[in-house]
Structure 1
Amino acid sequence: MLLAVGCGVLIGLERQWRSRTAGLRTNALVATGACAFVLLGQLAGQTGDPLQIAAYVVSGVGFLGGGVILRQGSSVQGLNTAATLWCSAAVGCLAAAGHAAAALAVTAVVIGVHLLLRPLGRLVDRAPTSGGDEQRAYRLELVVRRKHEGHLRAQVLQALSGGDARLRGLTSTASDDDASTTLTLELLVDGSETHQLNQLVERLSLEQGVRSVAWQEGSAGEPVDGDAG
């Protein structure tokens, strides 16, 4: 039991340091609970099957992991957290079965995956693509009435969540008379197609409080097709 708690704490420390939903206590409790259920099967002797109980633990942790998975538009968040909880349960089962070396090895692998593969994943994300899938930078500028700024921010983020455009930055600049605000969004769009930006401009131009909206390629230059308002 102490081995399961210790391994769960080690996994949870990395998650807590990253400020993830399931941190130190959650991973420690998952490992402890998995260990306790498997020990129950061992203590029951002939009336219990440890492997069958371990299978139930896997199913139960699957439901627990499903609670931390969130879908926002076309993206899914929480998969790494759910997978980590699953691994913590596996560590607890190994500890209960008396396989201390295996439990420690799995713990080291889980922590190593989080620490070492994270930079590799970011490097792969930044790698340029070829052909028509090359990402291009665009700037979207909206001039909105100050009192409608919050609502329009939410509308823009919602519109971008379901498409191929990736938001890289958002700045807000108030006008001299403090009656309007300029929202500047830095976007990355896959390929050279700009129909999504045109659709976004048309949609935003119909929103209440929008004075003007335009997009342009790159971070400088005159606006190209897409002016509205």
Structure 2
Amino acid sequence: MAIWTNVRVGGLIDISATLAVALALGTLIGAERQYRQRTAGLRTNALVAVGAAGFVGLGMSLNANVGATQVLAYVISGIGFLGAGVIMKEGTNVRGLNTAATLWCSAAVGAFSGAGYGAEAALLTLFVLAGNTFLRPLANLINRIPINERTTEATYQVHVTVDTENRDLIRDLLGEKLEAAHYPLRDVEVLDRGEEDVEFVATLAATSIDPVELDAVTHELEKADGVSYATWTSSAVG
């Protein structure tokens, strides 16, 4: 049987070593994720690293470097599907991106190991651990910095609720006030709010604003006849 004729002691020792390195390094990455109580923890990262090492090692056994390169392309795309499974969207918040990126890095560690580059695999592991550990305080520090609307790029919208009788007048007034404040309009959407009211949603062409100026614009709009509500909102640019 071919399964027995392909058995080589030297080959078994080599693949055992590469899988052991992948398992050990994947376990190190996974241990940090497990400690942080992430979705993909110790076992997942270890298995991803071992699986990547196994596939790349198989490719090398079948067709040397060409085979490893061909298999590696499929490993990368396959890990992309796996990473998508840990990304969750809750309202406007997206969770799991860092976990997915860590799985991707675990696969790279395994690929290095499977190709016989153990030292490079260990070095990459150190960089992954550094990224997930030492960059955390910096990320927390940046998150605590107050947001400056003047320098933050975002999509800004002005919302004005008005009765249908004054609809056209307020629409013109909205454009005039924003133009006077040097915030040109990109688009104006009209939404029905019952039988007697409509809401204008004006999207600004500007990607950064002065909150005081926009507050002044909405305050002036609220004073106009027929306007029951005026405010502005922002959403981060993707």
TM-score range, shorter chain: 0.5 to 0.7
SS in 1 for 2:25: helix
Instruction: Please list, as runs of the form range in 1=range in 2, the aligned pairs for 1:13-162 lying within 5 A after superposition.
Output: 13-45=31-63, 49-130=67-148
In structure 1, the gaps of 5 or more residues are: 135-190, 195-229
2-side partners of 1:125 and 1:61: how far apart? 29
Superposed CA deviations along residues 3-40 of structure 1, whole A, max 9, x for unmatched, are 00000000000000000000000000000000000111
**CA distance in structure 1 between the partners assigned to 2:26 and 2:98 by the alignment:** 16
Q: What 5-or-longer segments of structure 2 have no aligned partner?
A: 1-18, 153-210, 216-238
TM-score normalised according to structure 1 size: 0.57
Distance in 2 (alpha carbons) for counterparts of 1:70 and 1:131 = 28
Note the C-alpha offset of 1:44: 1.2
Counterpart AA for 1:101: A
Paired with 2:129 and 2:123, the residues of 1 have a C-alpha distance of 10
1:123, 1:87 → 2: CA distance? 25
Residues of 1 paired with 2:65 and 2:146: CA distance? 59
- Paired letter, 2:99: T
Report Cα offsets for 1:132-179 as digits up to 9, x if no partner: 579xxxxxxxxxxxxxxxxxxxxxxxxxxxxxxxxxxxxxxxxxxxxx
Q: Aligned with 2:134: secondary structure?
A: helix
Q: 1:50 to 1:64 in 2, by over 3 A?
A: same
Closer, same or farther: CA 46–24 of 1 in aligned 2, 3 Å: closer
Question: Could you tell me how far apart the structure 1 residues matched to 2:149 and 2:39 are?
Answer: 38
Structure 1 Cα separation of the partners of residues 69 and 82 of structure 2: 20
The count of aligned residue pairs is 139
**Superposition misfits of 4+ residues, deviation over 3 angstroms:** 45-48, 129-134, 191-194
The alignment's TM-score, normalised by the length of structure 2, stands at 0.54
More helix by share: 2
Read off the aligned partner of 1:52 and give its amino acid letter: Q
- Which residue number corresponds to residue 197 of structure 1? none
Counterpart check, 1:7 vs 2:25: yes
